């Protein structure tokens, strides 16, 4: 998502609605419960719309286009798009053949929801307002980009709305659908894990980008390294307690940067395993790192570009994952009504977000903080 500095979501008061206002958001539509047996297999394309047409939306669009290109008949149709930047929305619509172009998600839902099957919500963390709740009330299945919220209370209200409507949900934790991360899960999730560690070190978006504002992104841990936190949870189970320390040594000299430049969090898992995650955005000239290590009795597993077992004969290497990507899995689930294709629904995504939300609280309080786990 780029150039947000020129087009931060208008109606800023909408973006800071408290939880009570969110649950009371007006709608002229009755809640619709969608059950699994109401969705037929792909006799016609799945009709979707996008709210948010920035960079991450473009990544999902590329995958959807690949799906159609690989099929004799179209599997998905982009019917409408919405972005507060009308020029960007129009360009996105032109690239995918969408006929509905909007700058307000309420108008999109009011005019298009009856003809849609699903909604992609690809907005920054601070811009999650009432779109998820209104979409579920219209009976639409949801694909929500990570992290799903900045505040836990808002996420709980959205989760309640999803459950009440009975719609399917998927959250954009792409590593669950990729080798070697998915392969590592297949190898490890039923084993006794002693310790995990994950590191994500890199750079940052340019000056003026919303990501650099801690109140809009939640910091690198919450907005980017949430992928690594999610994989740690997926492999080792729920995180119950966190203790965080954040650094601002480099950030002090960088203009318009309020996010911590370095963050480290100690994790305690419900299983009894322990771990840590570290992240930093000070490497603007390259030299980054993205890896996870898992320690078992007499074995170490490294997960990064490849899956490495040390010693090599400590465990049998499973077959590399070669299934659906995250978008293919979501469209297949919507078309068939089979939720099993989705590896991270909204509740799972909220549990992952809750870890970094608790970490941010811990860094502020100086105390260990408990994580929400449902």
The per-residue pLDDT for range 152-180, each reduced to its tens digit, is 999 999 999 999 999 999 999 999 999 99
195-201 and 118-121 beta bridge pairing? unpaired
Interval 24-46: pLDDT, tens: 333 333 322 333 444 344 569 99
Q: What is the mean pLDDT of residues 344-351?
A: 98
21-30, 177-186, 194-203, 206-215: lowest mean pLDDT where?
A: 21-30
Statement: residue 311 has pLDDT above 70: yes
> What is the per-residue pLDDT across 43-61, written as a single tens digit (0 to 9) for each?
699 999 999 999 999 999 9
Instruction: Report the pLDDT value the prediction gives residue 252, as an integer from 0 to 100.
Output: 85
Mean pLDDT over the full length of the chain: 90
The answer on 366 and 219 residing in a single domain is yes
Tell me, what CATH number does 278's domain have? 3.30.360.10
Both structure tokens of 111: 């005019």
41 and 170 co-located in one domain:
yes
Do 127 and 171 have their domain in common?
A: yes
The CATH number that applies at residue 93 is 3.40.50.720
Domains contained in the chain, number: 2
Considering the domain boundaries, does residue 348 fall inside one?
Answer: no
Task: Determine the Cα–Cα distance for residues 225 and 223; give it in Å rounded to an integer.
Answer: 6
Helix (H) or strand (E) holding 112: helix 105-112
Residue 236 and residue 218 share a domain = yes
One domain for residues 33 and 162: yes
Q: Identify the CA nearest to 224 among candidates 235, 209, 237.
A: 209
Q: Are residues 97 and 188 in the same domain?
A: no
Give the pLDDT score at 18.
34
Residue 90: inside a domain = yes
What is residue 372's three-state secondary structure? coil
Domain presence at residue 64: yes
User: Which residue, chain included where needed, has tokens 């318009």?
Assistant: 256
Q: 366 φ, ψ to 5°?
A: 75, 10
Label residues 164-177 b or e (16+ Cβ within 10 Å = b): ebbbbbbbbbbbbb
Does residue 228 sit in the same domain as residue 128?
A: no
Phi-psi region of 310 (alpha: psi -120 to 50; beta: other; left: phi over 0): beta
As to burial, measured by CB atoms within 10 angstroms (0-12 exposed, 13-18 middle, 19+ buried), residue 19 is middle
Say if residue 215 is in the same domain as residue 147. no
Based on the number of CB atoms within 10 Å of its own CB, is 128 exposed (0-12), middle (13-18) or buried (19 or more)?
buried
| Neighbouring-strand partners of residue 241 | 268, 370
Examine residue 282 and state whether it is found in any structural domain, yes or no: yes
**Pair 158, 244 in one domain:** no
Output the six-digit token pair for 145: 């980009």
- 107 and 254 in a single domain? The answer is no
**Residue at 365 is within a domain:** yes
**CB atoms closer than 10 angstroms to residue 187:** 21
Residue 199 lies in a domain: yes
Residue 11 and residue 149 share a domain: yes
pLDDT band at 138 (very low <50, low <70, confident <90, very high): very high
Assess contact for 200 and 232: CB atoms under 8 A: no
Length of the chain: 374
- The whole-model pTM stands at 0.88
Q: Domain residues for 50?
A: 4-175+328-343
Q: Would you report the helix, strand and coil content of the chain in percent, each value rounded to 5?
A: 40, 20, 40
Closest CA to 173 of 120, 242, 224: 224
Give the least confident one: 14-28, 104-118, 126-140, 239-253. 14-28
Statement to judge: residues 184 and 171 lie in one domain: no
* 181-192 pLDDT per residue, tens: 999 999 999 999
Burial label, 299 (beta-carbon count in 10 A; 0-12, 13-18, 19+): middle
């Amino acid at each position: 998502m780029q150039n947000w500095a020129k087009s931060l979501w208008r109606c800023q008061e909408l973006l800071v609605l408290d939880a009570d206002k969110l649950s009371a958001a007006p709608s002229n539509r009755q809640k619709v419960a969608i059950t699994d047996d109401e969705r037929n297999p792909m006799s016609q394309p799945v009709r979707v719309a996008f709210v948010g047409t920035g960079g991450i939306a473009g990544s999902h669009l590329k995958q959807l286009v690949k799906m159609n290109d690989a099929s004799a008949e179209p599997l998905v149709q982009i019917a409408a798009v919405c972005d507060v930047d009308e020029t960007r929305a129009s360009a996105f619509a032109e690239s995918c053949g969408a006929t509905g172009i909007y700058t307000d998600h309420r108008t999109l839902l009011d005019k298009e929801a009856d003809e849609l099957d699903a909604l992609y919500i690809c907005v920054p963390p601070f811009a999650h307002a009432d779109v998820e709740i209104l979409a579920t009330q219209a009976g639409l299945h949801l694909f929500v980009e990570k992290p799903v919220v900045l505040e836990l209370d808002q996420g709980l209200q959205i989760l309640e709305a999803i459950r009440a409507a009975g719609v399917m949900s998927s959250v954009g934790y792409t590593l669950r659908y990729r080798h070697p991360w998915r392969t590592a899960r297949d190898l490890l999730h039923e084993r006794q894990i002693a310790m995990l560690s994950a590191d994500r070190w890199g750079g940052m978006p340019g000056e003026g980008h919303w990501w650099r504002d801690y109140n809009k992104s939640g910091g690198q841990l919450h907005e980017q390294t949430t992928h690594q936190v999610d994989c740690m949870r997926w492999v080792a189970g729920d995180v119950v307690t966190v203790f965080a320390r954040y650094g601002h040594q480099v950030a002090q000299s960088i203009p318009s940067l309020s996010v911590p430049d370095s963050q480290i969090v100690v994790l305690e898992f419900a299983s009894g395993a322990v771990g840590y995650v570290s992240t930093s955005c000070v490497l603007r000239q390259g030299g980054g790192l993205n890896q996870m290590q898992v320690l078992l009795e007499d074995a170490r597993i490294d997960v990064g570009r490849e899956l490495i077992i040390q010693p090599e004969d400590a465990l049998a290497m499973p077959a590399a994952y070669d299934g659906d990507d995250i978008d293919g899995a979501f469209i297949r689930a919507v078309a068939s009504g089979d939720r099993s294709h989705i590896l991270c629904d909204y509740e799972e995504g909220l549990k992952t977000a809750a870890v970094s939300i608790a970490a941010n609280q811990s860094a502020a309080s100086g105390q260990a903080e408990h994580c929400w786990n449902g």
